[in-house]
Structure 1
Amino acid sequence: MRQSALTRAELLALPAIIDLETAGYALGLKRSTTYALAKRGELPVRPLLLGRARRVVTAELLDVLGVQVEEPFPATTP
């Protein structure tokens, strides 16, 4: 079992929406702590209830962690 949270590269490779357990892992939390915080509304990211599954928007997680997504190309002006 891994001891540390996700690396920057692993965070940037995550899909747009992830499960609650992965979000907790990225935050360095144990599974039980993640679910307890979510239940109390104290998780630093907003969990979404999709059916019976709880999910987290990855962009929100990256924002909380302070991970900047770099633009692959400079923005162009018309």
Structure 2
Amino acid sequence: MNGMTRTELLALPTTVDLVTAARALSIGRTLAYQLARAGNFPVPVLRLGTRYRVVTSGLLAVLGVERGTDTATVNAPTLRPVPGL
């Protein structure tokens, strides 16, 4: 199974499913579910009913990927002067 690029990792939403997290970690689906059931997945896993979710920030931390200031400024709103102030 192929991993994910830094760009793909930084584009992930706040939480991802277990299969996506497994892909980021370059492990297979079956192993990911086995590890999650045993409580040994390398990233904290949230179990919501019958579904597993992984918080992306934890995934990025384990992979050593940091959100740089360059990505933070891309999404920053443009400030415009308010007339009369």
TM over 0.5: yes
Q: CA RMSD in A?
A: 1.1
**In the alignment, structure 1 residue 59 sits paired with structure 2 residue 46:** no
Q: Which residue does the alignment assign to 1:14? A: 12
Alpha-carbon separation, structure 2, partners of 1:49 and 1:39: 10
1:60 alignment partner, SS class: helix
Which structure 2 residues correspond to residues 62-73 of structure 1 after superposition, within 5 A? Answer: 62-71=60-69, 72-73=72-73
**Percent identity (aligned):** 48
Q: Which residue does the alignment assign to 2:24? A: 26
Alpha-carbon separation, structure 2, partners of 1:4 and 1:31: 12
- Of 2, 5, 11, 2:3 maps to 5
**Which consecutive residues of structure 2, in runs of 5 or more, have no partner in the other structure?**
74-85
Shift of 1:41: 1.0
Alpha-carbon separation, structure 1, partners of 2:32 and 2:63: 15
**Equivalent pairs, count:** 71
- The code of the aligned residue for 2:43 comes to V
TM-score (norm 2): 0.78
